[in-house]
Amino acid sequence: MTQTKLITFTQLQAFLGGENLQTHASEIHGFLTGILAAGYAFDNTDYLKTLEDMFNNGEALSKAMERQMKVLFAEIVQAIVDENFGFQLLLPDDDESIIERGQALNAWVQGFNLGFGLLQKQNSSYSEDVQEIIRDFADIANLSNELEDDEETEEAYFEILEYIRISSLLCFAELGDKPTANQTSKTLH
């Protein structure tokens, strides 16, 4: 079953701005995906404290922000375990400029690298495939934000986007916590 989005990029970006968080919606989504791909337990809520430390200068999240992050986390959990590969990166819509989408993709990868790196500190503990993905993600995170608004850049964007999506799922398949059906349904509530 393909997952229905509970929140869009635009909604989350506006919500973060309303909470005065100086971060990007794609970065938060990438961060949460990164910790999950690295083996974070689905039923652990310590990620809220980590979000405070990493994205809110150590200040407590508002109750509304905690609820929103729980919804986002649950959405990612559902998508990442979807047998139909329904997982998608949270990015601006395709009708936005390639520059905005490229910057969001860069922010997503940076967030993923941060989250993944917090949990997986020993590169030797995982396969060569995952090590290569992490090296590639580091290179992608350092790509220039100076993009041309042309067909070639558009094609490259979609190729990189799909590589990142599938690679994230591969990292999760190797290192991620495999929830029981009961854990997954509890995460949603």
Which positions ≥6 away from 139 have C-beta within 8 Å? Answer: none
- The larger pLDDT score, comparing residue 6 to residue 154, is at 154
C-alpha to C-alpha distance for 102 and 105, rounded to whole angstroms: 5
Please give the average per-residue pLDDT across 126-150, as a whole number. 85
What residue ranges do the domains of the chain occupy? 9-187
The CATH homologous superfamily of the domain defined by 9-187: YgfB uncharacterised protein family PF03695 (1.20.120.740)
Q: Which two tokens stand for residue 70?
A: 């729980």
Percentage of residues of the chain with pLDDT beyond 70? 89
Residue 3 pLDDT more than 50? no
- The larger pLDDT score, comparing residue 178 to residue 146, is at 178
Residue 31 pLDDT more than 50? yes
Residue 189 pLDDT more than 50? no
Residue showing tokens 């999240």:
61
Grade residue 152 by pLDDT with cuts at 50, 70 and 90. Answer: confident
Alpha helices (runs of H) in 23-150, residue ranges in sequence order:
25-37, 47-55, 63-80, 98-119, 128-141
